[in-house]
């Protein structure tokens, strides 16, 4: 069983759906990113604040496996846990439909840090995330 360290509840908005009446695939990336940003805020760190300090976490690779579609008005829970692999922080993110706990998407998001524009191992992130790794 995954060891989730953060959960965020959200609800599908009408404009996120396509003509088929289901969430457009691109919007899942928004859900995943919003979850990571809120997780970061929960540690007391702002994504915008990091940028102002010259630290930019960026997505290097993302893999998404779509399992069950979400529809307008569906409530869902976005969960994550993470690991560090070399200089990468790998986020394992899963979304579950709240009404029946069905898996909606399973994703792996690999991120790296740019410090003052250069790829770098981030001591700041090591410190922020040490309790979760």
What digits encode the pLDDT tens for the residues 16-57?
Answer: 999 999 999 999 999 999 999 999 999 999 989 889 988 899
For the cut 80, the answer to whether the pLDDT of residue 12 exceeds it is yes
Domain count, the chain: 1
What digits encode the pLDDT tens for the residues 118-133?
Answer: 998 878 888 888 888 8
Flag whether 70 is in a domain: yes
Cβ neighbours for 53, distance < 8 A, ≥ 6 positions apart = none
CATH number at residue 105: 3.10.129.10
Flag whether 97 is in a domain: yes
Residue among 18, 56, 94, 101 flagged as catalytic = 18
What digits encode the pLDDT tens for the residues 111-121?
Answer: 999 999 899 88
* Structural domain span for residue 74: 6-129
**For 29, how many CA atoms within 13 A lie in the half-sphere containing its CB?**
9
pLDDT reported for residue 121? 83
What digits encode the pLDDT tens for the residues 60-106?
Answer: 999 999 999 999 999 999 999 999 999 999 999 999 999 999 999 99
Question: Coil, strand or helix: which one is 103?
Answer: strand
Flag whether 121 is in a domain: yes
Flag whether 63 is in a domain: yes
Q: Is 74 a catalytic residue?
A: no
Flag whether 1 is in a domain: no
């Amino acid at each position: 069983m995954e060891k989730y360290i953060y959960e965020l509840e959200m609800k599908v908005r009408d404009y996120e759906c396509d003509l088929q009446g289901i969430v457009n695939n691109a919007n899942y990336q928004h859900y995943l990113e919003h979850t990571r940003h809120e997780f970061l805020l929960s540690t007391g760190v702002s994504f915008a604040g990091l940028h102002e300090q010259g630290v930019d976490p960026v997505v290097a690779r993302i893999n998404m496996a779509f399992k069950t579609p979400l529809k307008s008005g569906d409530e869902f829970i976005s969960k994550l846990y993470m690991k560090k692999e070399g200089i990468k922080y790998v986020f394992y993110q899963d979304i579950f439909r709240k009404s029946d706990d069905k898996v909606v998407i399973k994703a792996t998001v690999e991120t790296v840090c740019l410090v003052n524009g250069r790829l770098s191992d981030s001591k700041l992130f090591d410190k922020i995330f040490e309790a979760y790794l």
